Amino acid sequence: MVHVTLLVTFVEVADSVADPRRLAVSARHEAVLSNGDRVILLDDRGWSETGPPDIWSSLSAGEIVESARVVVGPDEPFDGYSQEYMQATHWATLAEVLRRHGVDVEGKTLSELPHEVVLGQELLTRLRAGAG
């Protein structure tokens, strides 16, 4: 039986124009299966910031990784929902995506898996250039 071994979020620059005052990145969240296949869990995530000239020089890879983990969830509570509810709903939704792909998994199991964040080449290039 195929099972999920790892969660991976790929982060890459989302804009094609290198504006030194703007950071825009996309985040794609995937599940890696025991047979080597991958299932996209979320492909509509990302964030942007506008800041001082050369905003990239004020960022570190660690900050990008931390932001990526937040962006793919679970979300913070709102409208009176509890943190526990938000977490349970998030993981149950991702488990349902996997079930539609023939992978039987519980949300709690997903929440306990390792989660890697992989920074794309363009993003790394901009971080290095910003670091001088």
47-94 pLDDT, tens digit each: 998 888 888 888 899 999 999 999 999 999 999 999 999 999 999 999
Q: How many structural domains are present in the chain? A: 1
- pTM (predicted TM-score): 0.92
Region 17-23: mean pLDDT is: 78
Q: Which domain holds residue 117?
A: 4-131
Confidence of residue 129 (pLDDT cuts 50, 70, 90): confident
The identity of residue 40, as a single letter, is I
